Chains A and B, each alone.
Chain A
């Protein structure tokens, strides 16, 4: 059960939305699919779903191309909520479930399970427009997973949810992954991606600027974060050899440094200048990597 994108390109007249994108997402894996606004994520999803045809390249699921015969294998949670505001949760999901090839009683059993799991069983007969944004998101999520898809595409699944609900849904996502679902996960919340995905790719103008396992990406990024708390003036570190970014904090500063040698140099440079409460070397966060890779093009 593997989703393979091979050299996929999508051009709209002169504009190239996705440029020779190659990906492989195996079973039981949650793949982080990141990118700035307008980087081509939604276009890629639409191509995977068969809503758009790729200009070049191939997309396959288990070696076969994806068409409407396979729609019951695929679940999709779009970034924008897409539900009928005037229908009740039950009517809504029975319809959407049937379109994914389910029988009515199976849909109701699953729906009860999920509403129970999300602690909102009373929503069964409520109209969607009566629900809050976060609760609509739960219903949207259920509509994407009710038919037990093999491939699940989640575009910003946690938007509008409070922290308690985020945890609840995260658990559900992890369960699905463990049960064998391949998941493509897209989010602008880097900490979610970091927590959930082992492999990821960052899209920039339609082609990946970063692609691979999270660990390797962090290692190869090279730069690390150095956090120093103390009572002295750290501003001289701004132009220090090997420091790529300097951020002043309330208690000290946060630096991004090129390698571990710079760490040693700074350590000796600030020795004797005053009292240091914290001197800590950190792995770069995905957020840092994203900003470094994607942000560079904005400048």
Chain B
């Protein structure tokens, strides 16, 4: 146990001290800070480049109506009637006097036609807003002309009341489903990132020790299985440190901007008032999922003798997690399909897909227990095989990257008595 903690703390400390860890953590924290201040940043730039928009209005009656319409919608667009010809207005835009130009021409069929001129039309925000308001304006004018009452118009355009109600009493309500969907999203994403990052980290770390041949000394001091699990848990702690930092910083930032953000973010992820059980499941599935993939990664790492080959060997593992992710995304829309049910029992997919089902559906406890059992069993088997392959693999040098190596490592690691 003493050796276990030595390896664990060594793995943890050396990893946390690396430049790549510090940089990636800092950059992610910056991104989080950026996201938290997203609105302020947008506002900061928005004020500058909106600019005045010139309007050349042949009839002279629409400009005011459009201005009113924009003002009513609280849009940050200023319309300025332009006295002069269209060509003069265009020249004024090219000189930078105005941001854009809207030309309104009367038309038989359409009441009026509009043309939008700007130096570039890549920024579509203002265009769309103006188009939208002109559309409304046209409807208003047209209906007025045909003598329909405005209240009637509002009625026609009002959205219908549509609500989905589940009859099964234990089934989740729409609101609950939305919340679950949010949590499932977060979980899927976190698990996906974790396996991608830390799985790779484990495989690379093992391969580094192997390629620098320090492994031979390490496993002559401590049993390979101790070494393997100390490494897996050490890196799990590195991951927790990193994710923990993100959560603390993220949470603090959100708290400090409570008014703007809290409702939005929490509603988005549906974490406001969900049952605590779902969090327990999230943690259980997350831990098991990590262990499963980490064991696999350590085993794969032990098979290569050059760091360059790590990618080649871990690709199938990455594919597994990508497939799991994709099934899960599909499953969010159709959690009850047979396909999702079946795949939720495949241990490599369970942490994502069974969790999705737990979150979205009302699943009997035995199904959850069964899938957890299968996962624990698979982890045990993987750990057993992994430890054998590991003890053989770390003694194996040469070209690597095939199943043959896997067999060879198993033979090397075989206990003879």
Q: Which residues of A contact B (CB under 8 A)?
A: 12-13, 46, 49-55, 68, 71, 74, 76, 78, 80-85, 87, 91, 95-96, 98-101, 143
| A80→B382 CA distance, assembly (Å) | 31
Interface centre among B14, B216, B221 (most CB of A within 10 A): B221
A99 pairs with B14, CB closer than 8 A: no
Q: Given the interface contacts A68-B222, A87-B14, does A53 sit within 8 Å of B217 by beta carbon?
A: no
Q: Cα distance A98–B391 when bound, in Å?
A: 21
| Minimum CB–CB distance for A231 against chain B, Å | 54
Closest to A92 in B: B214
> Which residues of B207-251 are within 8 A (CB) of A?
209, 212-223
Q: Which of B213, B217, B391, B416 contacts A96 (CB 8 A)?
A: B217
Residues of B within 8 A of A95 (CB): 6, 10
Distance between A133 CB and nearest chain B CB, rounded to angstroms: 14
Contact indicator B221/A100 (Cβ below 8 Å): yes
**A–B pairs, 22, beta carbons within 8 Å:** A12-B412, A51-B216, A53-B417, A55-B416, A68-B221, A78-B216, A80-B213, A81-B213, A82-B212, A82-B213, A82-B215, A82-B216, A83-B212, A84-B209, A84-B212, A95-B10, A96-B217, A96-B218, A98-B6, A99-B3, A99-B221, A100-B221
Chain B residues, Cβ within 8 Å of A54 = 416
Q: Name the distance in Å between A86's Cβ and chain B's nearest Cβ.
A: 8
Chain B residues near A101 (CB, 8 Å)? Answer: 2
Check A82 against B217 for contact (C-beta < 8 Å): yes
* Contact size range, B: 20 to 34
Chain B residues with CB under 8 A of A98: 6, 10
- Contacting A99 at CB < 8 Å: which of B213, B222, B417? B222
Contact residues of A: prevailing secondary structure: loop
Residues from chain A with Cβ under 8 Å of B2 in the complex: 101
Say what secondary structure dominates the interface of chain B.
helix
Residue of A nearest to B215 (CB): A82
Whether B212 contacts A71 by the Cβ 8 Å rule is no
Residue pair A76, B412 in contact (C-beta under 8 Å)? no
Indicate the member of A55, A84, A91, A95 with the most B CB atoms within 10 Å: A95
B221 neighbours in A (Cβ, 8 Å): 68, 71, 96, 99-100
Min CB distance A172 to B, Å, is: 19
Q: Cβ of A68 and Cβ of B217 under 8 Å apart?
A: no
Given the complex, which residues of B lie within 8 Å of A74, measured CB to CB? Answer: 220
Q: Does B255 contact A (CB under 8 A)?
A: no
Alpha-carbon gap, A299 to B77, bound state (A): 94
Which residues of B288-323 have CB atoms within 8 Å of chain A's CB atoms?
none
A203 to B415, CA, bound (A): 25
A98 to B7, CA, bound (A): 9
Cβ–Cβ < 8 Å partners of B374 in chain A: none
The docked-state distance in angstroms from the alpha carbon of A51 to that of B215 is 11
**Cα separation A73 to B305 with both chains bound (whole Å):** 29
Closest 10 CB pairs of A and B: A82-B213, A53-B416, A99-B221, A82-B214, A49-B220, A98-B6, A80-B213, A71-B221, A82-B217, A95-B10
B139 to chain A, nearest CB (A): 69
Closest to B209 in A: A84
A78 to B210 Cα, complex, angstroms:
13
CA of A100 to CA of B3 in the docked complex: distance in angstroms?
8
With the chains together, A84 CA to B214 CA distance in Å? 6
Q: How far is the CA of A85 from the CA of B307 in the complex (A)?
A: 14
B395 within 8 A of A: yes
Nearest-neighbor residue (CB-CB) of B392 within chain A: A52
Is A52 a contact of B412 with CB atoms below 8 Å?
yes
Whether A51 lies near B219 (C-beta < 8 A) is yes
**Alpha-carbon gap, A81 to B217, bound state (A):** 10
Q: Is the CB of B414 within 8 A of A68?
A: no
